[in-house]
Structure 1
């Protein structure tokens, strides 16, 4: 703690310029160092990710090329099977020497012609059921080795004569025009299309260079690192001829091949930060396409990026020194001026204004300070107006609570009921009148719970129904869980009164008033509906004029309900009126939902206690 006090005393005694230099120079040095390390790492990762994406895209192209080659060979084999059938149709099975010589020449010619249509296929060999061998090329070696090798028997063991069978890549001195070049062989059994009689076996040969040529792309800097591996983990195609037909020996490559043997997605692995190995599945041949990239080659530009970052860092450090000197003059004077005006506000003077000299952050602070002072002044003025309005609403509420004409008419109704010996109805009316005014007066409190508001409104409806038995009937549909909702007193009664006098009394027949409540998300909607005469569009606009400022209010009661709800709950709550002429009117009161399941935040007296 002592060291901390010493450092703080030393720092607080500095000039503003020295503080800037002391704080920002270490920050800039540390930040630039972190920036250099992070940018190098990000740049390196970006290069690696881009290389991986390039390899994946290039691998997809290579796979498509290989797929095109294999499919073309299968198409070629189907064409040759058809041509062999036609050739057998033109020659007898048992042929003379002359016929056999002509048959051989025709077969060689037909094989050569069909192969000319498919550049990928290098040679074709047909071995009939008698062991005679026919080639598309001039035979240079003893082709009978093909019989002794068991290749035709291996093809026949596959059983399915309609499908092609691929033999592994191998180097041999038979069934190939060049014994020094490894070849990939496609075999297919040739049968009589009509009778099913087996004519022999057909073999199509593709040289390894044809496959490795598809692994080379001019826009790929690592083009020589692509190679194909079969299910035996043997390289079957590679631009590096010394790799062909050699097994994979690298442990990392073997492990990656093993882990992806059952996968079809492309997999990538970084080996000790030196090599990036990518494996892509080629399901058509059960092969894997491997790419091995040297990370040193991929990230060779990272060093240049680091040097550039260091150079920029020293430049920024120099500029920061110059900037600190400049800021000490530009920033300090406006701050001191603003501080003086803040002290005046602290002393209680709200009628100050800070000068705005610039459009930078200091200028923004000054504008915000001026705006804040102006808002405080406006809030004080609005508070005074709001208090005045609240007193006016309370006075209007007290005036509406008395309702002399309602009291006189109700007492007159009680007198008539007694005179008619309807004593029970007179007692009920008297009790309803007393309960009504008990809640209305309620010690001057404004907020009560919905249950008390409903009871008061029910008492009012009971009295009015006694006076106008043929005008209306009513229904109360308030769920129990909503009855503890806080609501301003006398929110429903003015709406019910309007429904009786303006909606149902002039209808000419008995109507219905329905009071209900529903909860929608965080709000509760109270509804007063009647099926009275309704309102025209013009009348509805006049009734809703309380929603607009500077409009003459037509209904003091409705306006009072609207303003008191907004006063206690906020501007987003209040009344909404819906009406259709000849069908009726509905008024929705929207209040906050709050805790509807338990007790609301309302005094006990307002709960009827």
Structure 2
């Protein structure tokens, strides 16, 4: 199937108990899941459409109130212009303080009286052009009002040819000509002219606080998820419930692009942060946009509660289904489970496992067949094990025979060379060591010798090899005397020593050392062959013992032969282990039991 998941095969591999559960769960969950998804979609769509209509209606009502504030302010400006024109036209120019005081009182009283009719206008200011006097509808004691002459407001009104025309300045927060410097104001400016001559008397400024605009939608948004704010043509927030957002650009780039590309609309906007229902209504008179943002999670809160309720009901139904499956499992599946448990033990290697089901039905018949089959498998494995053991003995004997001639030829060549060089004493010592070596190696056909004999055999081998390679290594042997009478397969140390010389020290490039020692560890004897040669990698160590080499044969016949013979004689818990580090050396450990009784009976 090319690795593709097959639901039919998966279902067939399930236990019967799990099959019952696998059928119960879809029957309960799928209908509830479909019900939850369909009802959620229907309710969400209906709620969003209803919210769109409500938001559009509310926006129209809010803009109607805002428009009323704007028109009232403009009407106030027109009335003040007429009233100021009458006062200014009938007021002769005078330089006396009393006359000036009377004139100021008349102007400021008129400003204050007219504002009583228009509560949306917070304050009114008239700036006389003739003497640059500033008249306010409120008691002003601040000299900051004179900053108006440096602010550019007057010049802007005069250069835009706004004589007799209402001109709205952008929402701003300033420290002059306002009752509260901390509150942003929307200012209407108008040039007051002499109706007889057409010459300007001065400039009239009317201030509308931002709170007057926001009051139009704050009452509507109380207790609702609506969040209104007003944007001007610069993309600045000029009215919002949060004072910290006033006179700042809108931070949501996605919403900015949407507002810039569309006029009036109402739709759901998805961003990385959240999803919102956004309604925008244009107020063309001031080139503003009233925006309402409603978080979708607040809109769908009730729907989510409904979904949680459906999920809770589903969990309850699922629990009932699991209880029912459990009852069926006890009645029908339990005997099969016990038989399966016995089969799994056999699969894990426990061939002594048997099923104790005594029923007379089909499961009882399966149990009887299973128990008979396991007994037959045990007998077969016993026969195979005996045959394999004999085969290993033959193979190891062949490997052993292959190792012995190699050393003999090299030693005879060495004796010949020593005689030829007239080094008679060294030739005699080498001949004696060779004779002792083969006396122990042959051992009258015995495969098990004492540790003392094996140490003597390894020492004879090292004497001969040191004679051949005097500039390559030296050696030392430290084995406690209480270990010398213990037993070990013959030629267990020689292959390890040979490997240390040829693969650890000869290629090192400097003089090396081999150390043989031993100790008792619990009920076992450990003999170690250590060298300070070139070492090897962990992969090479595993390959020497025949693991993970990827080859048909192990990387070293000699060490592998020792390892397998020890395991054959004493069991798999004994044998050879290698610890090595490249560039530092190698330690090869032999572990054998400390008494003869641990040797396998078939050896």
**Please, what TM-score do these two structures have when normalized by structure 1?**
0.45
| Structure whose alpha-carbon radius of gyration is higher | 2
**Please, what TM-score do these two structures have when normalized by structure 2?**
0.45
